[in-house]
Amino acid sequence: MKLEPAPFWATVHTGALHKIDSQQHRIRLEDRVLVYLHKTNPSIYTGADNATFTSKDAEYLFRQLKKQSQTLEYLYMLGFLIKGLEAGKITCGWKNVYIPSMPVPAGREPARFTPLSFRSLNSFKMYHDAIAVYLEQEPDDSPSRHLGLILLSAIMYGGLLTSKWITALLRGLPDRVRMENGLMWVDMQRPYIYPKLADEPEKTKYINRRWFPDPLTQSLIIRLHLHYSEHLTWCHQLDAQQTCLKAILYRLSGTSTHFSIKNLYEAAACYLGLRIPGFLVSYATCKSISVSVPSNVWTRLLSDKSVIDDHDIGSSKEDISGSQKTVIYNDNVDMLRQEKLRKQLTSILGDARRTRLTCKPTSDKVQLFLEKNMRELSPVMQMLGQWAVELLTRLPNVVHGRKRKTALQPSSVATYLQAIDQELIACAGRSDITQYEPTELRDLYDDAINSAKGKQRQATSFRLTQFHRFLMRNYGTPEIDMSGMVSSSGPPELGVDANLISPSQFRLVQKALGCELPKRSRLQTIQCLIVILGYKCGLRRDEALSLRIVDLMGTKLPEVIIRTSRLFRPKTPDSTRRIPVWLLLDPDELAMLMNWKQLRIAEENRRESLTAFLFGTPGSNNIPNEGAIYLPIQASLHQVTGDATSRYHHLRHSFANRILIMLLPDNLFHESLPNALKEMRVDQKTRERIIQGLFGNMDQGRQFLYGLSSLLGHAEVSTTMQSYFHLTDWLLGQAVRGEAVQPSLSVKAVMQITGLKRAMVFRSKSQIGAETWKMEAFIERFSKHAASLFPDQFAKKTRVPLAIQPECDTVFSILPDWALVEHSLRQHQEHGMTTDDIARMLCLPSDMVLSWCMWAENIRNLTTKGGTPRHLSYWQRKSKGDTANIVLFPPPPDYPADKEIVNKILKKVAKLSLLELEDVKNGCLDFINRYSVIQGYARFTEFKGAIEFRNFLKLIGVPDSMVYVSLFAKTSPPKPEELEEHREVMKKLGIAEDHKLSSNKRHIRYRYRRIHECSVGFMVARSDHPITRWKKVVEVVTVYGFRYAVYLLAIGLAGINTCSEVVPSPSDDFPG
């Protein structure tokens, strides 16, 4: 009996996914898949209910389909199979069916070595030999040939393999050549203007690129400035290709049918491709784009000093005034509330038209709205409000993004806001978009445009460009690539914010954040860890902030996993990745991160503790306040580098360049590396270990780029090259200085170029032990006295980097971490761990842990004169029978109100001085000695002690509304004069009359029937939640959170020195 395929196979549509346009061809390929399914797995073919399809079945089927199939055919058949399995899983309810993933075809670089390129090498060799002969002659007096020789040398040996930058090199020879410590470079500029602005030349932008010449070209440039400076005036008049290059090619060939310039580029690319890494040749030919860092950043990296200059001279970036406005960060921003606030803002602008209000009163109303709701507004809502205020205000001068300096009418401003407000608020959420890098901003704007309706997208795109200009002027937001958002499009280089941080500067940033302090605050520790994750692991700001405890997996070989969580979604599907922190972090940094994880586990004492945020607040499920974390980081970066445009995302850029330089082979680099770049290199053993850990084998070529791209979470290598690798220009300059690239010259040619005498040439060659006559052997001596000709304009503005280390908070340095105190007690009492093991696990002094555990044990065993435990409740004694059986003391509070009281008291104590901490310590001891859980209050028989305890409650932040007092009379019932005394006592204690609790107990009588001067019982309680106890309604209920906070303070402060020189032992000065 012939089996028929299941009906759902006929409904599978793969779409025009794989460029197979012929319908008959598609049908044949689909039939081929079904034939193999019929043979290998009939249950899947017929759509049986209990069909199974394993990964092994899939692998076998893939091998069969791949036989005698082209790549596009194979991908189409694979897509058809996957779509069919998904349809069958829905239709037939399959549960044991494996759905394979669809491979992503990666685009390949065009072939560099072709028969045509190899044939052109013959003509290339002709010019190679002709240059060697031409250099032996006296220099040509013709400016076109003299300059053309420099350009030809740059093409053949310097890696300048594109016509785009030849003219830029010629224009930059007079005044854009720089030299520092023997290293020469040219800051080239290529002008660009948007087609729409072609009639406005003043809006021309510049694409910058740095080029490092090879030794021969460097020598020719030095000779030009030393002896033929009169030719420099022709650099701005002659055409680079049609005049200079053709003149020198004709001179070298001696015929009019010289080598074509196009073939010259192809032959030079083939020549270099056989000698240097392929990705550098792709960069040299502009097949892959890599943006150079600005001039001030390069000077900072070269000198390893900070540069006092905010913007690169001649840069394409606009002259912005810096960050004039600031964003107020709110911990709990309600996104549902933002929609109501948005409607209120637009209603203010809409009502102005109906009530005929002018711009100034409307602007005042918007300002009042912002001041009133500032604590509830998200960052984007704050910026939209400020933009509305600016649009309603007359500006002193016309600015980019505003056609006129006059104020707009309120109705027009409402139209501006309504074009972008809903989309931008929904896409940005709670994030501060002023801290985004250009690519993130562009993605955000694209999402906002796509979320708008079809007819409104053009208006949304146009208003977003105006809004971004406002952000650049007032918040210091970087410039982005506007192509696609406006009618004109530009090169992608204009939208890349290139900036790097050297390793030494990164250490100074850590110091400025307090990483070297003996005792850091919680916020300082979070900032240090996030900076480490950004610089050493390449995490984005939202990725680092949204990490959960469970995302830091493993103990021996820990890894950080970037994945989707409840409040975080990766930027792209490829952003989901694993990062081996055990391999990328230093041992002390890794220990710091793992200790923080242990601390967070200790803080989150609940079942869902591992899903809490790694850098979150204890007991909170919200993402931490990014403003409190990232603003100090940005300030530290500015302090160290002197660059106002430095931001956290530049740490991620630095990670990409540092790892690339670290993994490249040693033979690519010259011996005299700058100090800042030399620090990025590692020894051969470390390099092999990192490569083995990241890639699994040692035979890696340009796969490094793909591996680093996946480590950064990029889908394409072009994204990494274009937006993150900023030292490719310097790597190309290092590569072309190799012996395999440079031509061998004669002694006479070296003498003509350098001007050195014959004896000096031979002496220089013998001193360095050179075997061939190449300019690398003589460039150092020749360049020694030429550095003054090429001054670096930013070198004069350098200074030693500043890293002002924050002062160590003396009070905080002696206070323990309360989460560690709780975790230590839990491990000791519940799990039976010794104090030494706990101290070793948490990296704490063993005597400190011993003090905590002993004081907790002594407080638990403290009893009254009658032998009743003071601090164990009736139910604890009844259920356990013996105090020794209580598992955990003090037990943590369960109710949110109690937890809130604990947090408030501990935060208050953290701000106290040393002298006040001594009063807190004494107050805790008084409470422990005088409190009885049966009575519910701490009783004092001396008025002085009662006053001191009242001051103690004020000192630790207990509100007056929670302090209640029981006053005991000498007689029962109390006499009128006693009631009057009670009122005086309440007045001296500063407690309201309605907080006096009635009591039938009398004064305590001791021997000789002496009655104390007073009998006051303090109770910290609340009256807003009455309870029923023993069938009676109790309106005033004691607050356990207060007791727990006092227990923690007594345990934590017991073993530390607050005022005396000698630290008491755990058994000294114990209460009772």
Q: For residue range 23-74, list pLDDT tens digits in order.
A: 778 888 888 888 888 888 888 888 888 888 888 888 888 888 888 787 778 8
pLDDT at residue 481, as a whole number:
65
Question: Token pair for residue 64?
Answer: 């069969």
CA quadruple 879, 883, 887, 892: dihedral, nearest 10: 90
pLDDT in tens, 449-475: 888 877 788 888 888 888 888 888 888
Residue 966's H or E segment, with its range, is strand 963-967
The winner for highest mean pLDDT among 488-502, 547-561, 759-773, 1031-1045 is 547-561
Give domain status of residue 854, yes or no. Answer: no
Query: Which helix (H) or strand (E) covers residue 163, if one does?
Result: helix 163-172
Instruction: Convert the pLDDT of each residue in 907-946 to its tens digit.
Output: 888 888 888 888 899 899 988 988 888 777 788 878 788 8
Phi/psi at 535 (5° precision): -85, -35
Quickly state the pLDDT bin for 293 (edges 50, 70, 90).
Answer: very high
Higher-pLDDT residue of 311 and 727 is 727
Lowest mean pLDDT among 19-28, 211-220, 541-550, 1005-1014: 1005-1014
- Strand (E) or helix (H) holding 345: helix 335-354
Q: Which of 478, 504, 529 is the last residue of a domain?
A: 478
| The domain boundary residue, chosen from 444, 478, 512 | 478
Q: Do the Cβ atoms of 310 and 202 come closer than 8 Å?
A: no
Task: With beta carbons less than 8 A apart as the criterion, state whether 389 and 361 touch.
Answer: no
Say what the pLDDT of residue 158 is. 92
| Cα Rg of the chain, angstroms | 38
CB 296 within 8 A of CB 307: yes
Query: What's the angle, vertex CA 788, arms to CA 786 and CA 790, rounded to 5?
Result: 85
Do 655 and 707 lie in one domain? The reply is yes
Residue 340 lies in a domain: yes
The per-residue pLDDT for 413 is 87
- Give the separation between CA 805 and CA 517, rounded to whole angstroms: 8
> Pairing relation of β-strands 96-97 and 52-53?
parallel
Residue 755 and residue 671 in one domain: no
**C-alpha to C-alpha distances, 183 to 145, 179, 674, 755, nearest whole angstrom:** 26, 5, 9, 20
From CA 248, how far away is CA 151, in angstroms rounded? Answer: 9
Least confident of 47-56, 537-546, 744-753, 836-845: 836-845
Token code pair at residue 510: 């850590």
State the average pLDDT over residues 808-817.
63
Determine the average pLDDT of the residues in 815-834.
82
Q: Per residue in 350-360, is it b (16+ CB within 10 Å) or e — as a string?
A: eebeeeebebe
What confidence score (pLDDT) does residue 998 get?
62
| pLDDT classification of 534: cutoffs 50, 70, 90 | very high
Same domain, 523 and 663: yes
Mean pLDDT (whole number) for 197-221: 86
- Residue 937 has φ and ψ, to the nearest 5°, of -145, 165
pLDDT given at position 263: 80
**From edge to edge, which strands make up the β-sheet containing 183-192?**
177-180, 183-192, 205-211
Q: What pLDDT is stored for residue 310 in this prediction?
A: 47
Q: What is the arithmetic mean of pLDDT over 1015-1033?
A: 67
Q: What's the pLDDT at 1070?
A: 39
Please give the pLDDT value at position 1069.
40
Give the pLDDT score at 692: 80
User: Residue 600 and residue 849: Cα distance in Å, rounded?
Assistant: 18
Helix axes 943-955, 914-930, angle to 10 degrees: 120
Question: Is the domain of 709 the same as that of 746?
Answer: no
Range of lowest pLDDT (467-471, 802-806, 1037-1041): 802-806
354/356 Cα distance (integer angstroms) = 5
First-residue to last-residue Cα distance in the chain: 95
pLDDT tier, 1060 (very low <50, low <70, confident <90, very high otherwise): very low
Residue 193 in contact with residue 713, Cβ under 8 Å?
A: no
Does residue 318 fall inside a structural domain?
no
Query: Does residue 301 contact residue 293 with C-beta atoms inside 8 Å?
Result: yes
SS (H, E, C) 447-512: HHHHHCCHHHHHHHHHHHHHHHHHHHHHHCCCCCCCECCECCCCCHHHHCCCCCCCHHHHHHHHHH
CA angle 971, 977, 982 (to 5 degrees): 80
- What's the whole-number mean pLDDT along residues 808-836? 76
In Å, how far from its chain's centre is CA 746? 54
pLDDT-based confidence at residue 583 (cuts at 50, 70, 90): very high
Q: Is residue 89 part of a domain?
A: yes
Range of 253-262, 480-489, 786-795 with top mean pLDDT: 786-795
Which of the pair, 537 or 666, is modelled with greater confidence?
537
Per DSSP, the three-state class of 53 is strand
In a domain, 326, yes or no: no
Range of the domain at 546: 495-725
pLDDT of residue 1006: 38
On whether the CB atoms of residues 165 and 493 are closer than 8 A, the answer is no
Q: What are phi and psi of 562, to 5 degrees?
A: -95, 115
Are the beta carbons of 485 and 465 closer than 8 angstroms? yes
| Pair (507, 471) in one structural domain | no
**Mean pLDDT across 543-562:** 90
Task: Provide the pLDDT confidence category of residue 297 given band limits of 50, 70 and 90.
Answer: very high
- Cα–chain-centroid distance for residue 402? 33
Q: Considering the domain boundaries, does residue 764 fall inside one?
A: yes
* Residue 1014, in any domain of the structure: yes
Verify that 82 and 133 share a domain, yes or no: no
Which of 750, 765, 789 is the C-terminal boundary of a domain? 789
Measured distance CA(736)–CA(26) in Å, rounded:
50
**Is the domain of 120 the same as that of 19?**
no
Are 122 and 90 contained in the same domain?
no
pLDDT of 319: 41
Whether residue 171 is predicted with pLDDT greater than 90 in this model: the reply is yes
pLDDT value at residue 152: 93
pLDDT score of 321? 40
**Highest-scoring range by mean pLDDT, 90-104, 526-540, 766-780:** 526-540
Predicted local distance difference test score (pLDDT) of residue 767: 65
pTM, whole model, 2 decimals? Answer: 0.71
The winner for highest mean pLDDT among 274-288, 383-397, 660-674, 841-855 is 274-288
**11: pLDDT strictly greater than 50:** yes
CA distance 814 to 1056: 7
Residue 827: inside a domain, yes or no?
Answer: no
Neighbours of 1052 (CB within 10 A): 25
CA atoms within 13 A on the CB side of 426: 12
Which region, left, alpha or beta, applies to residue 389 given φ > 0 means left and ψ of -120 to 50 means alpha? alpha
Mean pLDDT of the chain: 80
Instruction: Clarify whether residues 537 and 623 are in a common domain.
Output: yes
Could you tell me the CA-to-CA distances from 531 to 328, 563, 625 in Å, in that order? 22, 20, 16
**Same domain as 594, residue 703:** yes
Q: Which contacts qualify for 1005-1008: CB closer than 8 Å, 24 or more apart?
A: none
Q: Are residues 696 and 575 in the same domain?
A: yes
Higher pLDDT, 369 or 1008: 369
Is pLDDT at 127 greater than 70 in this prediction? yes
Q: Average pLDDT for residues 416-420, to the nearest whole number?
A: 88
DSSP state of 969: B
Tokens at 930, concatenated: 């005088």
Q: Does 351 share its domain with 246?
A: no
What pLDDT sits at residue 1062?
Answer: 33
* pLDDT value, residue 1029: 55
Looking at the 3D structure of the chain, how many domains does it have? Answer: 5
For residue 854, give the amino acid letter.
M
Q: Examine the pLDDT at 972 and tell me if it is beyond 70.
A: no
Residue written as token pair 């390129």:
117
**Among 184-198, 244-258, 323-337, 1006-1020, where is mean pLDDT lowest?**
1006-1020
H or E stretch at 249: helix 246-253
